[in-house]
Chains A and B, each alone.
Chain A
Amino acid sequence: MTFLGLGVGAWLLLAVAVGLGGVIEATFLWQVSRRRRLGEDDR
């Protein structure tokens, strides 16, 4: 049984290929903004 003509493994690979970078990027942006807020509070 396939979803839109493609197997689960292929969709999973595509999701990881695109999503893993997205998660890393989002975490990075969140971390930088948090540290900046902390830095501003310290000052």
Chain B
Amino acid sequence: MSFWVYVPLGAYLIVLLVLGLWSRAAGGGLEGYYVAGKKLPAWVVAFSSNATGESGWLLLGLTGMGYLIGVHAFWVILGEVLGVTLGWVLVARPFKALTDGYGSITVPDYLESRFRDDAGLLRKIGVAIVLSMATVYTAAQMVAAGKAFDSFLATGYIPGVLIGAAVTLFYTAVGGFKAVAYSDFVQGVLMALGLLALPIAGIAAAGGIEAMFVAVGAQDPTLLLPMGRYGVTFEGVLSAVGMAAIGLAFLGVPQLLVRFMAAGSDRDLVQGSGFAYLCIVIFDVGAVFTGIAGRALYPALEDQETVMPLLSAELFPAIFTGIFLVIVLGAIMSTVDSLLIMSSAAVVRDLVQKTFGSQTSERRLSFYGRLTTLAIGAIALPFALREAKVLFWFVLFAWSGLGAAFTPVVLCSLFWSRTTRMGAAAGMVSGFVVTVVWVQFFKAQFYDLYEMIPGFLAGLVATVVVSWMTEPPEGAGEELEAMRERLRYGG
């Protein structure tokens, strides 16, 4: 292995460690540790939220999907671009305005204040869902880190998992959310650059865009059809809708909502929306076209999820192998760090401080937060070390578990003043439970319909129906109207 492969990797790891140490000064309290003092600039919020939302699935999973199903994967682009755009246009500013008013630093904080939930029911449900899904999600990303190190540098799987986990845990625990957000920004920019370079190089190597599509069509003409091998059938429509539904969660998963909360101002969210749109377009179009170019160049791959590492190794000089490893690691780490900090906030803020009513000082609690970050990483690690077969469907499952539990409730809470505390509780539980039950018992019999759809629908229906049957919180209508009025003229 060339020495030059290790240079970008070493530089990247040093940058992360420095970011971790630099961010220690973000403030001693919980607001400093968990939302970076609510001072993040627009560009950091935008790239950080997309890098967090996408994970290693983008570079390995979505490129593989482009390879496997061709143009049919355009439905994922549609869903994600719409999801991100609508998240920024519809959700970000109202959510930021309300959470600033409440002094919230976690999503359960927000739900408790919005629904006057003095008994803390929503907080407990939220914490249970966050911790269970984040552990699965983190373990799957650690597996991806192990595989990335092993496939790029032949380190072996277990050393790869350990190196990735050690670096991520260090800068997350030490630097808190500020380190997470700024490192996500660096990682997001690297991902965007990689996903610009890879498809351009791939298309050029395939002889241009027309030659690429002709080569892919010669292998299988259905790879060039929007409805793929299904055609315009019930199964085809379900497949397309399922892929587009991946984008739904961008409207309400807690690891993204916390970034809106942490933005410096309403103006940052307006500016950030443009960055976020451009970023997601580059991410998704780049990933799908990388896969399609890979299919034209290497038609017989056994594992389609190796297409991105293969293209980077075959089409670029040796030093770029290191750069592309850094990009894959960036995608993985930007998600793991966000899940760790979110889980840590769930334990320290939501359980210890708010549920158990601890009177410990905020400075000490933020120290416990660092320890909790390490502990949660340590819980996920054995799953990753033992289960090398965790696949990317785990990522999509955890993504939809969080999305179905939180997104319908968050949307109703922002746009329907009639939403009630019990409606929110029913929506969260239904969304989460239906997602899990669908995967376990029904998915295989229903055309592999992606669990986000039944989960989201169940969450929405339960929230609306139970809200109609119960009394809304006092003053909610006036509160939402006042918030809208403030935002109408610039926040």
What count of chain A residues pass the 8 Å CB interface test? 26
Task: Decide if A17 touches B270 in the complex (CB within 8 Å).
Answer: no
Q: Report yes or no: A17 in contact with B77, Cβ–Cβ below 8 A.
A: yes
Would you call B490 and A39 a contact (CB within 8 A)?
yes
Asked if B86 lies at the interface with its beta carbon under 8 angstroms from chain A, I say yes
Q: A5-B213, A25-B89, A29-B273 are in contact. Are A18 and B81 (CB under 8 A)?
A: yes
Task: State the Cβ distance, A27 to closest chain B Cβ, in Å.
Answer: 8
Interface of A is mostly: helix
Cβ-defined contact, B489 with A38, below 8 A: yes
Q: How many A-B residue pairs have CB under 8 A?
A: 85
Chain B residues with Cβ below 8 Å from A9 are 225-226
Kindly supply a per-residue 1/0 record for chain A positions 2-43, scoring 1 wherever the CB is within 8 Å of any chain B CB and 0 otherwise: 101111011011101110111011001100100110110010
- A39's nearest neighbour on chain B, judged by CB, is B489
Interface string of B267-283 (1 = CB under 8 A from A): 00010011001001100
Contact pattern, B 209-222, Cβ under 8 Å of A = 1, otherwise 0:
11111100100000
Q: Does B74 contact A (CB under 8 A)?
A: yes
Task: Output the least CB separation between B386 and chain A (Å).
Answer: 39
Contact A28/B89 with A13-B71, A17-B78, A18-B77 known, Cβ cut-off 8 Å: yes
Task: Give 12 A-B contacts (CB < 8 Å), ordered by A residue.
Answer: A5-B214, A7-B225, A9-B226, A10-B74, A10-B224, A12-B226, A13-B71, A17-B77, A18-B81, A21-B280, A25-B89, A42-B489
Per CB-CB distance, the 7 closest pairs between chain A and chain B, nearest first, are: A5-B213, A39-B489, A17-B78, A21-B85, A21-B81, A5-B210, A17-B77
- The residues of A with any CB-CB pair to B shorter than 8 Å are 2, 4-7, 9-10, 12-14, 16-18, 20-22, 24-25, 28-29, 32, 35-36, 38-39, 42
Q: Please name 12 further chain A to chain B contacts, defined as beta carbons within 8 Å, in addition to the given A18-B81, A25-B274, sorted by A numbering.
A: A5-B212, A5-B214, A5-B217, A6-B213, A12-B226, A13-B75, A13-B226, A14-B74, A17-B74, A18-B281, A21-B277, A35-B490
